[in-house]
Amino acid sequence: MKILVCISHVPDTTSKINFVNGDSEFDSNGVQFVINPNDEFGLTRAIWFQEQQAATVTVVNVGGPDTEPTLRKALAIGANEAIRVNATPTDGFFVAKQLAEVVKSGNYDLVICGKESLDYNGGMVPGMLASLLDFNFVNSCTELTVDGSAAKASREIDGGKEIISASLPLVIGGQKGLVEEKDLRIPNMRGIMTARTKVLTVLEPVAANNNTNAVKFEKPMPKSAVKLVSADNLDELINLLHNEAKVI
């Protein structure tokens, strides 16, 4: 089984976020980047298939040279090889189009994406990728097993979960639960050294339209200062809860 894991290069959640050019572009200066958490669950599941079912695992990212440390980390975790499509990921359709070409040329059986990226939370790429490829698709996937060409998946739905059977080739949008958090892999020294010798192929992008464009970003309004109310002043507390917080 050939598995392709799509990796997003996203800011660490502890990073301070700012925008430039009239709040239309993300300012990456001084920001630490990591593997998108939803993708990390998918990568760990792919490594399980590698170890248990002799699958080959390739990771792919659409991005510039600055994303290569993230791909090298994925190689250190255990992926066999990496691919970088040398393009700025301008919108979901553009990314899906690039990934579709990689899948077609590589004849992959299973494509594992995160259901959404931590930065823009668009949630568009996995579904569009499956549509472009005419592959079966399971989103919000929390469990996945494969037996030959048959797959069984579990996905979150409102108020419960749904069990789905599907055949390969298959695209999934994975999330937390695909593996246990305790099973996430941390690169060890041997993995880091081995990653340096693994193949990282750089491909040029195919032509694709940008169907959406970010006009402006707005950060959440800063929280107001805390108001302290004396413990014996219940009338004031009730007044604030009723007229300002509007919770009673």
Strands 150-157 and 19-20: unpaired
Report the pLDDT averaged over residues 87-92. 90
Is residue 171 within 8 A of residue 129, CB to CB? The reply is yes
pLDDT at 209: 82
pTM for the whole structure: 0.85
Rounded Cα–Cα distance for residues 75 and 18 (Å): 30
Whole-number mean pLDDT of the chain?
Answer: 91
153-169 pLDDT per residue, tens: 999 888 889 999 999 99
- Residues 53/146, Cβ–Cβ less than 8 Å: yes
Identify the helix (H) or strand (E) that includes residue 140: strand 136-147
Indicate the DSSP class of residue 83. E
**127-147, pLDDT tens digit by residue?**
999 999 999 999 999 999 999
Task: Grade residue 237 by pLDDT with cuts at 50, 70 and 90.
Answer: confident
pLDDT at residue 233, rounded to an integer: 87
What would the pLDDT profile of 192-219 be if each residue is shown by its tens digit? Answer: 999 999 999 999 999 988 878 888 888 8
Distances (CA, A) of 221 to 218, 224, 241: 9, 9, 20
Integer Cα distance of 138 and 172 in angstroms: 5
Coil vs helix vs strand at 221:
coil
Determine how many CB atoms are found less than 10 A away from the CB of residue 60: 26
**Both tokens of residue 9?**
């290069």
